[in-house]
Amino acid sequence: MALKLPRGTQDILPGEVEKWQFIETVARDLCEKFQYKEIRTPIFEHTEVFTKGVGDTTDIVQKEMYTFEDRGGRSLTLRPEGTASAVRSFVEHKMFGYPNQPVKLFYMGPMFRYERPQAGRYRQFVQFGVEALGSKDPAIDAEVIALAMSIYQSLGLKKLKLIINSLGDKDSRNAHREALINHFSPRIEEFCGDCQSRLEKNPLRILDCKKDRDHELMATAPSILQYLNEDSKKYFDKVQQYLTNLGIDFEVDPNLVRGLDYYNQTAFEIMSDAEGFGAITTLCGGGRYNGLVEESGGPETPGIGFALSIERCLAALNAEGIELPVTQGIDCFLASLGEAAKDYTVKLLHELRKGGFSAERDYLDRKIKAQLKTADRLQAKYVAVLGDDELQENKINLKDMESGNQIEVPLDTFLEEFSAIYKKGR
Ligand code: HAM
């Protein structure tokens, strides 16, 4: 039986991969402008990086991690997200001591979650994410959100909706927690098993339950915004003010909870509003996680970040009917007629490539007509045809495929000639 890839994973084939590279380049270029530096951490970590970091009442930790024991009996986990790893690395390498603060990092790579696969939800997916560690200036919250929005806007996406919320600081959260427990306790047996166990451990997560979302107590649950203390309120106001100054539209949604435990203060998601996008509309999620660095063994350090997946970004582009301007076609195809000419193209091809051009030749001993067809298929900008006679006469025929113009070029100085013609033509 033919082997198949695992459920929830995908092969990204040539033709499609160029779109991924395009998005990755846009994200990298913007990180350069916003001054976020790349960090590469391992794809697997000690399991406690995530149980502690992401939180053991979350779906990710309880149901979705790929955890295994290695041959030395250690429990390891394929990373389900990047924040816990970035924070682990921040503490391990004492980045809190770097002269440049805040430390602004970005990462891009595969993440793994054992979720039920459906459109926009994979078991292996690629996240691009940023983390800014060491500042509790609300301007950095606005910066992080602006970076996420800029990525989508640079790709041409228009149907975006930014929603933000404040989860408050510790005091606000505790007050809200009490209120939630009082609200749900009397009728908690009407809720699913997960919610029942969340009630004491983390009642905020009840608001994020997919099974019970239509229960009447959900709509009347106390909102965190009623419980924000003065500091948290001021902070949230400032974030909103900065976003407004930046011309970024947003909606405040007091029910935005986020599925990871480490959040406090600012939380946000960017959704696609495009028709036909499908059931899962969240493109990007992030927020503040002051306290996570301390919990991971470092000094008091505030942090904020976001992550988005390339998969959902592509789905959004599809839904909006946006074609990415991925470069197609090669600079030159070398066709040949005759044995000696064919041999000569091996060297010529290499020279073109060393000269900085994308170039190809035939490797299947095709007739000249079939070679020209290949050149067409490869969308060659120029086709150079070399026959044994031309080889003798030190010349080669060069055709500009766009204009149809043909000229003869000296063979021994082909690279220089080609470079000059190419530059002029573009
Ligand atoms: P998250 O909301 O779990 O947050 O994931 C962020 C983004 O990853 C989602 O908005 C979505 O685009 C993408 N994503 C998540 N699961 C899948 C999946 N199964 N298939 C495809 N895409 C998926 C985090 O991971 C946090 N670490 C974000 C963060 C960074 N917060 C602060 N810093």
Mean pLDDT, the chain, integer: 95
Quickly state the pLDDT bin for 279 (edges 50, 70, 90).
Answer: confident
What residues are in contact with ligand 1 under a 6 Å CB criterion?
81-83, 113, 115, 121-122, 125, 127, 129, 131, 259-260, 282-287, 305-309, 311-312
Which run of H or E residues covers position 130? strand 124-133
Report the side by side order of strands in the sheet with 332-337: 359-361, 332-337, 382-387, 395-400, 406-410
The rounded distance, in Å, linking the Cα atoms of 177 and 199 is 9
CA of 125 from ligand 1 middle (Å) equals 9
The rounded distance, in Å, linking the Cα atoms of 104 and 131 is 6
CA of 81 from ligand 1 middle (Å) equals 7
The rounded distance, in Å, linking the Cα atoms of 377 and 399 is 16
Q: Residue 209, SS3?
A: coil
Best of 304, 309, 310, 313 for a ligand 1 pocket test (most atoms within 8 Å of beta carbon): 309
Quickly state the pLDDT bin for 327 (edges 50, 70, 90).
Answer: confident
Q: Show the tokens assigned to 296.
A: 């991971």
The rounded distance, in Å, linking the Cα atoms of 136 and 293 is 13
Q: Which pLDDT value is given to residue 276?
A: 82
Question: Residue 426 pLDDT > 80, yes or no?
Answer: no
CA of 120 from ligand 1 middle (Å) equals 11
Q: Residue 158, SS3?
A: coil
The rounded distance, in Å, linking the Cα atoms of 174 and 43 is 35
Q: Which residues pair with 130 in a beta bridge?
A: 106, 306
Q: Which pLDDT value is given to residue 24?
A: 98
- Residues listed for the chain: 426
Best of 66, 81, 140 for a ligand 1 pocket test (most atoms within 8 Å of beta carbon): 81
Q: Which pLDDT value is given to residue 26?
A: 98
Q: Residue 338, SS3?
A: coil
Instruction: Provide the whole-model pTM.
Output: 0.93
Q: Which atom of ligand 1 is nearest to the CA of 60?
A: 3
CA of 128 from ligand 1 middle (Å) equals 9
Q: Measuring CA to CA, which residue among 103, 175, 173 is closest to residue 132? A: 103
Mean pLDDT of 100-108: 98
Residue located nearest, by CA, to atom 33 of ligand 1 = 305
CA of 97 from ligand 1 middle (Å) equals 29
Question: Residue 261 pLDDT > 90, yes or no?
Answer: no
Q: Which pLDDT value is given to residue 258?
A: 86
Per the listing, tokens 């609200």 go with 183
* 284 within 8 A of 155, measured Cβ to Cβ: no
What single-letter amino acid sits at 407? I
- Percent of the chain at pLDDT > 90 equals 88
The rounded distance, in Å, linking the Cα atoms of 165 and 257 is 8
Quickly state the pLDDT bin for 182 (edges 50, 70, 90).
Answer: very high
Q: Show the tokens assigned to 5.
A: 């890839």
CA of 294 from ligand 1 middle (Å) equals 23
Residue located nearest, by CA, to atom 32 of ligand 1 = 305
Best of 88, 123, 127, 292 for a ligand 1 pocket test (most atoms within 8 Å of beta carbon): 127
The rounded distance, in Å, linking the Cα atoms of 89 and 295 is 13
Q: Which pLDDT value is given to residue 91?
A: 98
